[in-house]
Amino acid sequence: MNLKRRNFLKTSGAIMAAGALPISLVEIAFGKTAAEKFTFAFISDSHITHIKGKEFVRNWDQGLIRAIAECNMMSPRPDFVVYGGDIAQLGLPEEIDHGLDLLSDLKGDVHYVMGEHDYYLDLGAHWRKRLGPEHYAFDHKGVHFVVLNSVLTHDDWIQNSWNDKGWEDGMARMKAMARLDNPHGSPFLVGADQREWLRKDLEKVDKGTPVVVLSHSPLQKIYKGWNFWTEDAEELQKLLRPFDKVTVLYGHVHQIQYNQIGNISFHAVMATAWPWPYPSSYAQEASYMPTLTVEMNRADPFFERDATGWQMVDVHTGNVDMHYKLPDNTNRSVAFDEQKGHPADTRYQPEDARIPPQKHY
């Protein structure tokens, strides 16, 4: 029996077992009364990859299968599950169908978010056929949830490609977006139509209601070179500014990441597939320095499961406390610090392992 298997088996409770796995369990606890507490689970970025026929890349299948199995074991049961986008690697119907086939084993309702890997082959046609609308809102036990498609982009790039010669086919467009470092890609947008829909939707919501926004890309500008970026982030933040407590939860970056801009807390969720590199490497390119305002710990980017795992999130009266469970690594907590007014890491890593707040250039 290998070490990982032993570690898995020695944990008896479902929650403990899930601690080694790529699931986010989100607990909402506003009002601090038991009756109002609820949880939801969060799985993201599985990147199901088709090889041929019925063959798919096994590692990515396994990450998702494990997340689903552990999600189903959770006790108490999460009220629902959010899937944060990038079911597929290259947007193929086979990949989306296979991912959804695996996800059909999940108990309970699932809210899906569109990722760019699901979108750019056919501009979301197959995803929509299987899953329905890509932006909508719902209310759950006093929290207003908004799901956005944040991976749209400029029409002229979609129509004409990066060199104005047009795309050979949808796959050429998909591949231009599918890389981490994508010089021929185009920045993500929520876009004017969805922003107008959001403005109208939020008009109906009391400003004291906690708002949780679910997007694929961060609704903040972190690093343009890797599309850790949403071009109209400021306009979206403006729409969210009147509310007392806002949290944006996003996938895409495959790593723990958090920030605070005004009233808005930002938290990334982890991937079931693989980790992307960490923000300290952003400093290599000064022109794209991120505007992270909060000191962050970094974990170990050379550890294969570093950005995979799960976190439990408490939202006390609308603020978020994240409890990250990292497989075979030291657990971390990022709690909302009332005095500082932003999320702060509660431990313990040496100062030279942290990512300092970024300066504005």
Q: Which is nearer to Fe ion, 115 or 275 (CB)?
A: 115
Of the listed pieces 64-72, 81-89, 296-304, 307-315, which binds Fe ion according to CB under 5 A?
A: 81-89
Selected from 27, 61, 86, 134, the binder of Fe ion by CB under 5 A is 86
Minimum CB separation from Fe ion for residue 117, in Å? Answer: 6
Helical segments of 132-206, H only:
155-160, 170-178, 192-203
Of the listed pieces 113-121, 171-179, 318-326, 330-338, which binds Fe ion according to CB under 5 A?
A: 113-121
Minimum CB separation from Fe ion for residue 298, in Å? Answer: 19
Encode 81-104: b = buried (16+ Cβ within 10 Å), e = exposed: bbbbbbbbbbbbbbbbbbbbebbe
Q: Report the length, in residues, of the chain.
A: 361
Which residues in 321-340 contact Fe ion (CB under 5 A)?
none
Q: Which is nearer to Fe ion, 271 or 315 (CB)?
A: 271
Q: How far is Cα 291 from Cα 270, in angstroms, rounded to an integer? A: 21
Taking CB under 5 A as the rule, does residue 252 contact Fe ion? yes
Q: How far is Cα 8 from Cα 20, in angstroms, rounded to an integer? A: 7
Encode 125-156: b = buried (16+ Cβ within 10 Å), e = exposed: ebbbeebeebbebeeeeebbbbbbbbbbbeee
Selected from 27, 45, 232, 321, the binder of Fe ion by CB under 5 A is 45
Q: Which is nearer to Fe ion, 17 or 253 (CB)?
A: 253
Of the listed pieces 108-116, 128-136, 157-165, 347-355, which binds Fe ion according to CB under 5 A?
A: 108-116
Taking CB under 5 A as the rule, does residue 19 contact Fe ion? no
Q: Which is nearer to Fe ion, 17 or 88 (CB)?
A: 88
Minimum CB separation from Fe ion for residue 267, in Å? Answer: 16
Task: Tell me the number of residues near Fe ion by CB under 5 A.
Answer: 5
Q: How far is Cα 135 from Cα 236, in angstroms, rounded to an integer? A: 14
Minimum CB separation from Fe ion for residue 165, in Å? Answer: 26
Minimum CB separation from Fe ion for residue 118, in Å? Answer: 9
Q: Which is nearer to Fe ion, 84 or 343 (CB)?
A: 84
Rg (alpha carbons) of the chain, rounded to whole number: 19
Q: How far is Cα 334 from Cα 321, in angstroms, rounded to an integer? A: 6
Bridge partner list, 247: 212, 265
Taking CB under 5 A as the rule, does residue 63 contact Fe ion? no
Q: Which helix (H) or strand (E) holds 84?
A: none
What single string gives the DSSP state of each residue in 249-315?
EE-SS-S--EEEETTEEEEE---SS-PPPPGGGGGG-GGG-----S-EE---TTSTTTT-SEEEEEE
Q: Which is nearer to Fe ion, 45 or 321 (CB)?
A: 45
Q: Token digits for 64?
A: 């998702």
Do the beta carbons of residue 141 and residue 36 sit within 8 Å?
A: yes
Selected from 19, 22, 78, 115, the binder of Fe ion by CB under 5 A is 115
Minimum CB separation from Fe ion for residue 58, in Å? Answer: 18
Of the listed pieces 55-63, 68-76, 84-92, 228-236, which binds Fe ion according to CB under 5 A?
A: 84-92
Neighbours of 247 (CB within 10 A): 25
The DSSP code for 31 is G
Q: Which is nearer to Fe ion, 84 or 210 (CB)?
A: 84
Q: Which is nearer to Fe ion, 191 or 210 (CB)?
A: 191
Q: Which is nearer to Fe ion, 144 or 267 (CB)?
A: 267
Residues that bind Fe ion (CB under 5 A): 45, 86, 115-116, 252
